[in-house]
């Protein structure tokens, strides 16, 4: 791709006015609004990180209206399929599951986790995911510092919207102290752990105080918590209502980790905005999803990953984890198929951190296996991904006023969705970070 970029040094004779930064992208095929038709031979003009306009034909540097002291870079993607930057709505960006995971929790500081997260955020960006939603970090300090470092430009990585500490019951999925001595457990205790409606309100408000963009709770047990506590509802209904009411009153959306159907339906009835996983949803769940206009983030890749571990006798899973992984993993593809067939809105999410960072696009093929068309799968990772974050004003499509986030591939992902597993070009806010 060495011919893709031409930098135009428009004569800087006049330096009194602010010099704007223009990125001009010549797209052979442009899917500006996933769900709508692909247009051929289009120019995307990005000014100071935001899309200024999309025009037919290939405009040259002089035709975009730049001043003489502006910086203009032209990217020739005339042989490529161009689309909005991708959004992964479920990651754990500061860590990645490994055999030393339990030891890492007591050896790695928040600073260590932030450094690891910087590497994972870079891998994720290079995979075409310009935005991610982090739904629970081992260290709130780490995720918030990483989010701000990327925002400032100190670190190159995906844009992060972060929840901070997960809201969980004592001993539940998200507590994370199971199996440690009381002395170590006390040190590892999360401020997101709460019991009773009053404590839950305080836990939510504390995460908002820390800077959480959204609130994540664990409505049911989970696969990788080291406890044989099952996969069903763990919060009581009044606690769920307290979490939703507190978060919504402070302008934060709420998402719930939920496997068991009772917990899924209880969270939906309480007003949750999205469900992560949704493994055992039923017809009542589908009705509640549609009634409440809530999203499902199915994370099929996580199910595939833990099923592979469960069937490997040498994997690092502990006995409670292995038993739950064998139960949950194989069911998630069928769950996504039933939800899609039932008309549930699906937003793309992988649970990367369980699976490896940087292979997020494997989820596309799994969504297609679950019955979605390639266009629907892309829509889930763009338009629906933005809506799930409540960021449709700046993300999800290539339109004026939105972030200049673009990805490109040589082939046609509408014919072969696996083209997205090898992204050739990545641009975030008008800056090209990957050009093959």
Enumerate residues 6+ apart whose C-beta is below 8 A from 151.
159
176-206 pLDDT, tens digit each: 656 667 666 566 566 889 999 999 999 999 9
Structural domain containing residue 308:
86-388
Question: Which one, of 435, 381, 432, 332, lies nearest residue 21 by Cα?
Answer: 432
Give the per-residue pLDDT at 322. 75
Are residue 336 and residue 320 in the same domain, yes or no? yes
Q: Is residue 399 part of a domain?
A: no
User: Kind of pairing, strands 425-428 and 431-435?
Assistant: antiparallel
Statement: residue 337 has pLDDT above 60: yes
**Domain tally for the chain?**
2
Are residue 103 and residue 68 in the same domain, yes or no? no
Are residue 75 and residue 91 in the same domain, yes or no? no
Are residue 229 and residue 164 in the same domain, yes or no? yes
State the sign of the Cα–Cα–Cα–Cα dihedral 201, 204, 209, 214: negative
Are residue 315 and residue 166 in the same domain, yes or no? yes
Q: Is residue 221 part of a domain?
A: yes
Are residue 25 and residue 149 in the same domain, yes or no? no
Whether the Cβ atoms of residue 192 and residue 203 lie closer than 8 Å to each other: yes
How many residues would you count in the chain?
436
Q: Is residue 436 part of a domain?
A: no
Residue 210 sits in a domain whose CATH number is 3.20.20.140
Statement: residue 52 has pLDDT above 70: yes
Q: Helix, strand, coil shares of the chain as percentages rounded to 5?
A: 35, 25, 40
Q: Is residue 398 part of a domain?
A: no
Q: Is residue 400 part of a domain?
A: no
Range scoring the smallest mean pLDDT among 171-185, 302-316, 406-420: 171-185
Beta carbons within 10 angstroms of residue 283's beta carbon: 10
Statement: residue 2 has pLDDT above 50: no
Are residue 11 and residue 90 in the same domain, yes or no? no
Are residue 14 and residue 140 in the same domain, yes or no? no
Are residue 244 and residue 270 in the same domain, yes or no? yes
Residue 62 sits in a domain whose CATH number is 2.30.40.10
Are residue 62 and residue 138 in the same domain, yes or no? no
pTM as predicted: 0.91
Give the per-residue pLDDT at 90. 96
Are residue 230 and residue 351 in the same domain, yes or no? yes
Q: Is residue 396 part of a domain?
A: no
Q: Provide the greatest CA pair distance for the chain.
A: 71
Are residue 78 and residue 116 in the same domain, yes or no? no
Please, what is the average pLDDT of the chain?
89
Give the per-residue pLDDT at 92. 94
d(CA 379, CA 364): 11
Whether the Cβ atoms of residue 300 and residue 336 lie closer than 8 Å to each other: yes
Q: Is residue 435 part of a domain?
A: no
Q: Is residue 254 part of a domain?
A: yes
């Amino acid at each position: 791709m060495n011919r893709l970029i031409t930098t135009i040094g428009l004569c800087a004779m006049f330096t009194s006015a602010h010099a704007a930064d223009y990125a001009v992208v010549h797209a052979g095929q442009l899917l500006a609004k996933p769900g709508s038709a692909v247009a051929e031979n289009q120019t995307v003009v990005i000014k100071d990180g935001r899309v200024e306009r999309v025009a037919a034909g290939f405009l040259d540097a002089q035709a975009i209206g730049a001043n003489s002291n502006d910086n203009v870079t032209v990217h020739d993607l005339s042989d490529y399929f161009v689309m909005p930057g991708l959004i992964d709505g479920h990651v754990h960006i500061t860590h990645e599951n490994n055999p030393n995971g339990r030891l890492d929790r007591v050896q790695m500081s928040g600073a260590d986790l932030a450094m690891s997260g910087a590497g994972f955020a870079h891998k994720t960006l290079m995979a075409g995911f310009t935005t991610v939603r982090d739904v629970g970090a081992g260290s709130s300090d780490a995720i918030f510092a990483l989010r701000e470092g990327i925002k400032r430009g100190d670190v190159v990585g995906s844009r992060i919207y972060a929840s901070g500490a997960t809201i969980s019951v004592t001993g539940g999925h998200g507590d994370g102290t199971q199996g440690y001595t009381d002395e170590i457990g006390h040190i590892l205790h999360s401020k997101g752990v709460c019991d009773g409606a009053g404590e839950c309100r305080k836990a939510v408000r504390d995460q908002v105080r820390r800077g959480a963009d959204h609130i994540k709770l664990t409505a049911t047990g989970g696969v990788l918590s080291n406890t044989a506590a099952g996969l069903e509802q763990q919060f009581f209904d009044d606690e769920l209502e307290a979490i939703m009411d507190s978060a919504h009153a402070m302008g934060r959306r709420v998402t719930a980790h939920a496997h068991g159907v009772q917990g899924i339906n209880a969270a939906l009835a309480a007003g949750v905005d999205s469900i992560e996983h949704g493994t055992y949803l039923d017809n009542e769940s589908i009705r509640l999803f549609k009634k409440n206009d809530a999203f499902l983030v199915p994370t099929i890749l996580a199910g595939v990953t833990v099923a592979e571990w469960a069937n490997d006798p040498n994997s690092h899973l502990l006995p409670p984890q292995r038993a739950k992984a064998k139960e949950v993993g194989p069911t998630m593809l069928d769950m996504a198929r039933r939800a899609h067939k039932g008309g549930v809105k699906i937003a793309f999410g992988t649970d990367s951190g369980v699976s490896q960072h940087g292979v997020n696009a494997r989820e596309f093929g799994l969504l297609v296996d679950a019955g979605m068309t390639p266009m629907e799968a892309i829509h889930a990772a763009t338009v629906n991904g933005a809506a799930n974050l409540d960021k449709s004003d700046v993300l999800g499509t290539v339109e004026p006023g939105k972030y200049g986030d673009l990805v490109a591939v040589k082939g046609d992902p509408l014919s072969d969705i696996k083209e997205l597993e090898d992204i050739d070009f990545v641009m975030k806010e008008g800056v090209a970070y990957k050009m093959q």
